[in-house]
Amino acid sequence: MSGTKPRLLIFLNRLVIGGPAIDVISMAGFLQADFDILVVYGEKELHEVEANYLLEQFPTLQTKKIESLKKSFNPFSNLVVFFSIIKLIKGFKPTIIHTHGAVPGVLGRLAATFCKVPVKVHTFHGHFFHSYLNNFFSSGIILLEKMLATLTSAIIATSESQQNDLVNKYKVAPLIKVATIQLGIDEDFLKGYELGSNSVFSQKYKLDGDTISVGIIARIVKVKNFNLFVEVVESVLKKTKRKVVFFIIGDGYLKKDIQKQFTEKSIVWCDNNNATENPSVIFTSWVSKIGEALSILDIVLLTSNNEGTGLSLAESQYCGKPVVSTNVGGVSDTVINGVTGFLVPPSDSVAFTKKLLLLTDNEDLRLQMGIAARAFAREKFSKNTEVAHVKSLYNRLLSSENT
């Protein structure tokens, strides 16, 4: 390390396939020119896949895995992680710590305060204020975040809607402490997949030219509301005159439950362990190079009850795919309703089905929205802009500490 650049410790939950890791690692890679960086992350869950391919993109990026850091509210294990972070901070001596995710946000900011790190930044990629836990625990999390905000130099919201939640709805922090910085897409992760025929994904799942492929890219967990997805699949298959195949790109603890629901509804499905002829639903598990999957999809869905910005929607539009999504969290800042896709009320299977059928049954509309989506995403989700705003925030906070 040069010792001449500010030292930045980045702390995130897990280095796994998904929006936060993709955003954080590419951001860290671009910031290396101006900061000495150490990225710290925890252990993945059983159904997740580590995104080591992200580190291959930035081979000089210094990382450290804390195996004791897991998605857990266990006080003892979190205490172990807390002291591990203190040890890392004392060794690395960062001038900035930037936390991402719930557990790193708590333990990282507390440890940074204990070690007197000058600048403490936290990004909310999403939040646990509703739809994850019951009202009692959700209220407790809100109170905890309000306390942590007093220890934090700046909070980053990834959308205007999220900023409104933090400042006005849940009153976590005052506006002066919250910066809204839109996520950016690293184009290098999506290059080369414009033609589906050239991708490994398209060769594995051969589709004829008349098939409409619809995909959802998400963890198969409660907050993503796959029950709504099942309802929509059933309804669309009954009503459309087109041949439609649905792809579930992701994995999670509810996978077997969702497969059981399809079986009970006599909807033919398959996964990597179960080859079936002419399935209506295909479980692909995680796909590391998401561009391969997007290259053959015609439409992308999201059925969440709660969402941050929805990087999968941004990436989908960037690749020219129209989307249909529940209107939750920061999604309304990510999709232009009626132009690049459709937004519907959460849990409304009738409205969701109606909008999806408009796209499956109308090729001209799909193409029109896809063109608009590509233009919108390439202007809106600039990685260079995101990097510039984060760097500017860091420098402003460092200057404030030095005055």
pLDDT digits (tens, 9 = 90+) for 271-311: 987 777 889 999 999 888 888 889 889 999 999 998 877 78
Residue 129, pLDDT > 90, answer no
Q: Which of 21-25, 204-208, 296-300, 303-307 has the lowest mean pLDDT?
A: 204-208
- Please report whether residue 307 resides in a domain: yes
pTM of the predicted protein model: 0.87
How many independent structural domains does the chain possess? 2
Residues 374 and 396 in one domain: no
SS3 state of residue 116: coil
- Please report whether residue 1 resides in a domain: no
Report which DSSP code applies to 102: H
Residues 238 and 311 in one domain: yes
Specify the pLDDT at position 308. Answer: 75
Range 12-16 average pLDDT: 88
* Contacts with 116 (C-beta within 8 Å, 6 or more apart), sequence order: none
Residue 248 CA neighbour count, 13 Å, CB half: 30
Residues 169 and 140 in one domain: yes
Residues 121 and 24 in one domain: yes
**Residue 205: which CATH number?**
3.40.50.2000
Amino acid at 195: L
pLDDT digits (tens, 9 = 90+) for 330-350: 899 899 999 999 999 999 999
Of 172 and 272, the structure prediction assigns the larger pLDDT to 172
Range 353-376 average pLDDT: 97
371 band by pLDDT with thresholds 50, 70 and 90: very high
2 band by pLDDT with thresholds 50, 70 and 90: very low
- Please report whether residue 41 resides in a domain: yes
Residues 82 and 167 in one domain: yes
Give the residues across from 124 on adjacent strands: 157
Report the candidate in 378, 218, 382, 175 with the shortest Cα–Cα distance to residue 307: 218
Owning domain of residue 166: 7-184+382-402
Residues 170 and 210 in one domain: no
- Please report whether residue 26 resides in a domain: yes
Amino acid at 358: L
Range 72-94 average pLDDT: 89
Residues 150 and 93 in one domain: yes
- Please report whether residue 2 resides in a domain: no
Specify the pLDDT at position 350. Answer: 98
Residues 29 and 163 in one domain: yes
Residues 389 and 368 in one domain: no
- Please report whether residue 130 resides in a domain: yes
Q: Which of 9-23, 318-332, 359-373 has the lowest mean pLDDT?
A: 9-23
Report the candidate in 373, 218, 374 with the shortest Cα–Cα distance to residue 303: 218
Range 210-223 average pLDDT: 93
Specify the pLDDT at position 131. Answer: 47
- Please report whether residue 331 resides in a domain: yes
Q: 400 to each of 111, 173, 397, how far by Cα in Å?
A: 21, 19, 5
Q: 125 to each of 101, 105, 108, 138, 226, how far by Cα in Å?
A: 7, 11, 16, 17, 20
